[in-house]
Amino acid sequence: MRIEPARSSRRRLLSALMVTALGVLAFPATAGAHLERPSYWPDPASDTSISPAAGGAVPVARSLESAVNHEGPGKVLVVCQGARGATSLAALNVSMHTAQTRGVQVRPSQPAIRMTGLEARNLRQINRTLARRCTYDSVQQAVFDAGNNDRILIMPGLYEEPLSRSKPTNDPKCTPSLLQRDASGSLAPSYKYQVTCPNDQNLIYVQGRAVVGDALSVPQSNRQGIPAQELGPCVRCNLQIEGTGPRPEDVIMDAGKDYQGTGRRAKPGGYAKDVVLKVDRADGFVGRNFVVRGAREHGFYVEETDGVLLDRTKFFWNRDYGHLSFTSDHSRVQNCEGFGSGDAVIYPGATPETGSQATSFYPDAPRANTVITNCDLHGSALGYSGSMGNAVRITRNHIYGNTTAISSDTLSAAGHPGFPADSSEIDRNFIYSNNLNLYVDDPPVDPLVPVPVGTGILYPGMNDALVHHNWIFDNWRDGAMLFTVPDDFVSGGGAEGDIFPGISCPGAPANRISTSCGNQFFANKMGRAPNGFRFPSDVGMFGNRHAHNDARPQKPNGNDFWWGEFFDNLATGNCWYGNTGVDGTAASVTGPGEAGRLPASAPQVLPSDCATSVGNNDGAKLTYLIDCSNGPDTDTGPTDCDWWSTPAQPGSAAAADAARNRSAAAGSAGTEALWQRVAALIP
């Protein structure tokens, strides 16, 4: 017999179900985080036990010229290939010719810049000098011999590190004796494990601090500060690792094998190590002018480190993340490029609470603890992602040709302190043509995580974010999506670490709703490219579909803004204002009213007033989102999830047909069946 709840009961059910569904929705949207030892945020103050002090700020890179002029501090260790660097110098000459004739292109979206004759002579002379001083043919061996303030200069070449590759994985010297058991009983390699068996997982490992004691048997709930009992003095702080060619591609640190084809952008057919370059508790680290390629998991991985600068670095074909930063502070990644990641090119996870939830541990808060700028992130499942990505600023990047461009979420997977994620800022970026469908047979990039094809920004459970002054166009599903993650559904048993109460959502954490409040989307240009804009050639990489590369600025998104909405009696502070749409006016922004992406029940609200913003419980969206939680499939009903295929190009007849098919979703039989199920469970 059909159960017909009274209207008030239905409203209550709807609220309950919305909580459930929205929580569920968060999960397919997240980057899936990663598994790691219990990690702590480093002391944000500089460490003055060495001179110059380490950490406390983003480090400043030292010039290449200073390395050959004997300007300190620290010693210079040179890595090269061939007798007295002959092979490296030969490679340098080839690259120099290219740099002078065709130019150096650090990012595909930017023009190549030709090297002048004077610049070429200087760089050639520096490399000749370095070749005479070269004593290493292995980056790892140079790192082992390095100390605080030292520099490692890598001359052009492909560095496969055969000695590191020969080291066993799951080395019995460290497994299981140096595994660390957390309170829930699961095991992870401890810091001491990494130090003792540095090439078990990593091609190149940088140990930043001495080992002085064992890890705590039960991790501290407060993750502010690495426990003193295991925090040794600096042994490789203020280390700089730098390639010496004119292009980042001249120095490749490579953990891949069995390459399909040749060239710097070739795809590996297998992996020798999980991580190419891991930087661990090494405050004040600078990496510049190189490529990390071919990791089974992560290309560059930095953990529990205060002060990191990556400049002119590239991340190619790293299977999980090109760049993974975890519980690290004062970090900046600039002038970078990455592609070929099955999760994200760049992932700053569990970043410090320097935003809305800052405590006295961060006396200079609020501030961004991580900045990603002037990068091209493309050709991956995600350009950027970050679970518990607190106070990360993403600015002035080009993010294109991915399945989803950006996802920053609240997902309290094991070891991700910082719940709930807050204070993300996404500004002045170009986010376009993210329509790469990897959920097909024999995909060009192996997807490790399910995310919606055709999406610009995805915020599952973010607070106090500012999304502004971006150009967001030609994403065939949605320009930006926002939904909540109720506390009860963030990892079994609750959030990781302490939750600082009452900051981001009204009544939190007592009311169990701590996420998706106070987010503002303003001054964005939606569905429209800048005048004179042309796609970079890599926008079509891996068969990514995109609008015509013509001078017309109109390049619509499938829908500009999508909000999962909230409860009609809860003020959320989420608001959208001052944005313009495909014709350059506010009126053409899609999302509110009947123009929003279906399935959905009218009216689709998109409040412009932050102070009075409330949701409008939407059963059709709910039904659709529940289906999305089931992962990739090929079902095509009106309320079935369609995240796993490329949406029809906006404005096409196929897009109009799809909208008509979904218009019947509100009040469908499926929605009613769901109601019955929930009603039957009422005590």
Query: 206, 627, 643, 658: which one contacts other proteins (CB under 8 A)?
Result: 627
117-133 vs 86-101: helix axis angle to the nearest 10? 170
**Angle at the Cα of 631 from the Cα atoms of 629 and 636, rounded to 5 degrees:** 95
Stretch that binds other proteins, among 137-145, 257-265, 275-283, 633-641 (CB under 8 A): 633-641
Binding residues with other proteins: total (CB under 8 A): 106
- Token readout for 426 is 């996404």
Q: Residue 81, interface with other proteins (CB under 8 A)?
A: no
Cis peptide leading into 599, omega within 30 of 0? yes
The torsion angles phi and psi of 208, rounded to 5 degrees, stand at: -90, -30
The tokens 């002048």 sit on which residue?
A: 116
Binding residues among 540-579 for other proteins as defined by CB under 8 A:
567, 569-573
Using alpha carbons only, give the angle 432, 433, 439 rounded to the nearest 5 degrees: 135
Backbone angles phi, psi at 118, to 5 degrees: -65, -45
Helix axes 7-29, 619-628, angle to 10 degrees: 40
* By CB under 8 A, residue 632 contacts other proteins: yes
Does 638 help bind other proteins (rule: CB under 8 A)? yes
H/E stretch holding 460 reads strand 455-460
- CB 370, min distance to other proteins, A: 22
Stretch that binds other proteins, among 13-21, 79-87, 347-355, 650-658 (CB under 8 A): 13-21
Phi-psi region of 456 (alpha: psi -120 to 50; beta: other; left: phi over 0): alpha
Residues 437, 486, 412, 428, Cα dihedral to 10°: 50
Please list every residue from 306 through 335 that binds other proteins, using CB under 8 A: none
Site string for other proteins, 588-617 (x = CB under 8 A): -----------------------x------
Stretch that binds other proteins, among 85-93, 104-112, 123-131, 665-673 (CB under 8 A): 665-673
By CB under 8 A, tell whether 624 contacts other proteins: yes
**Residue in 440, 551, 602, 654 binding other proteins, rule: CB under 8 A:** 440
Q: In degrees to the nearest 10, what's the CA dihedral of 528, 531, 532, 536? A: -30
Question: Taking contact as CB under 8 A, which single stretch among the options 175-183, 300-308, 461-469, 529-537 is the one that binds other proteins?
Answer: 175-183
270-296: b (≥16 Cβ within 10 Å) or e: ebbbbbbbbbbbbbbbbbbbbbbbbbb
**Contact stretch for other proteins (CB under 8 A) within 255-263, 332-340, 423-431, 636-644:** 636-644
Residue 12 binds other proteins (CB under 8 A): yes
Q: How far is the CB of 273 from other proteins (least distance, A)?
A: 12
Q: What is the dihedral of CA 491, 497, 499, 500, to 10 degrees?
A: -160
Question: Closer to other proteins at the Cβ: 648 or 664?
Answer: 664
User: Does residue number 683 form part of the binding site for other proteins (CB under 8 A)?
Assistant: yes
Q: Which of 184, 262, 360, 585 binds other proteins (CB under 8 A)?
A: 184
Applying CB under 8 A, does 633 fall inside the site for other proteins? yes
What track of x and - describes contact with other proteins for positions 340 through 379 (by CB under 8 A)?
--x-------------------------------------
HSE value, Cβ hemisphere, 13 Å, CA-based, for 592: 14
Which residue number, 349 or 497, has a Cβ lying nearer to other proteins? 497
Interface region with other proteins, contact rule CB under 8 A, candidates 137-145, 177-185, 281-289, 397-405: 177-185
What minimum distance in Å lies between the beta carbon of 20 and other proteins?
A: 5
d(CA 632, CA 404): 15
Residue choice 159, 290, 315, 439 for contact with other proteins (CB under 8 A): 439
Does 24 engage in binding with other proteins (CB under 8 A)? yes
Distance, CA of 534 to chain centre: 25
Nearest to 342 by CA among 316, 325, 321: 321
For 104-174, where are the E strands, in sequence order? 151-154, 157-159
Q: For residue 601, give both structure tokens.
A: 């029940």
Restricting to residues 155-174, name those near other proteins by CB under 8 A: 169-170
Stretch of residues binding other proteins (CB under 8 A), selected from 97-105, 350-358, 538-546, 621-629: 621-629
Q: How far is the CB of 408 from other proteins (least distance, A)?
A: 16
Rounded Cα distance between 464 and 634, Å, is 36
| Min CB(639)–other proteins separation in Å | 5
Q: Whole-number minimum distance, CB 441 to other proteins, in Å?
A: 5
Contacts of 29 (CB under 8 A, 6+ apart): 404, 407, 409, 451, 452, 458, 460, 481, 483
> Binding pattern to other proteins, positions 213-242, x when CB under 8 A?
-----xxxx---------------------
**Options 10-18, 250-258, 279-287, 467-475: segment touching other proteins (CB under 8 A):** 10-18
Closer to other proteins by CB, 135 or 169: give it. 169
* 507 binding other proteins? (CB under 8 A): yes
Q: Which stretch binds other proteins (CB under 8 A): 180-188, 348-356, 363-371, 534-542?
A: 180-188
Structure tokens given for 186: 């699961």
Question: Based on CB atoms, which residue is closest to other proteins, 42 or 650?
Answer: 42
**Euclidean distance between CA atoms 156 and 246, whole angstroms:** 9
Residues 288-307 that bind other proteins (CB under 8 A): 296-297
Q: Which stretch binds other proteins (CB under 8 A): 97-105, 138-146, 186-194, 600-608?
A: 186-194
Lay out the site mask for other proteins across 484-503 (x = CB under 8 A, - = otherwise): --x-xx-xxxxxxx------
Which residue of 32, 55, 246, 536 would you call a contact of other proteins, by CB under 8 A?
32
Kindly state whether residue 386 participates in binding other proteins, applying the rule CB under 8 A: no
DSSP structure string for 604-652:
----S-GGG------HHHHHHHHHHTT-S----STTS--TTSPPPPTTS
449 in contact with other proteins (CB under 8 A)? yes
Span from 125-133, 396-404, 408-416, 556-564 in contact with other proteins (CB under 8 A): 408-416
Q: Cβ of residue 155: shortest distance to other proteins, in angstroms?
A: 33
Angstrom distance (rounded) from CA 297 to CA 449: 13
User: How many residues are listed for the chain in this entry?
Assistant: 683
Question: Token pair for residue 394?
Answer: 């993403």
659 binds other proteins (CB under 8 A): no
Instruction: State how far the Cα of 155 lies from the Cα of 607, in Å rounded to an integer.
Output: 55
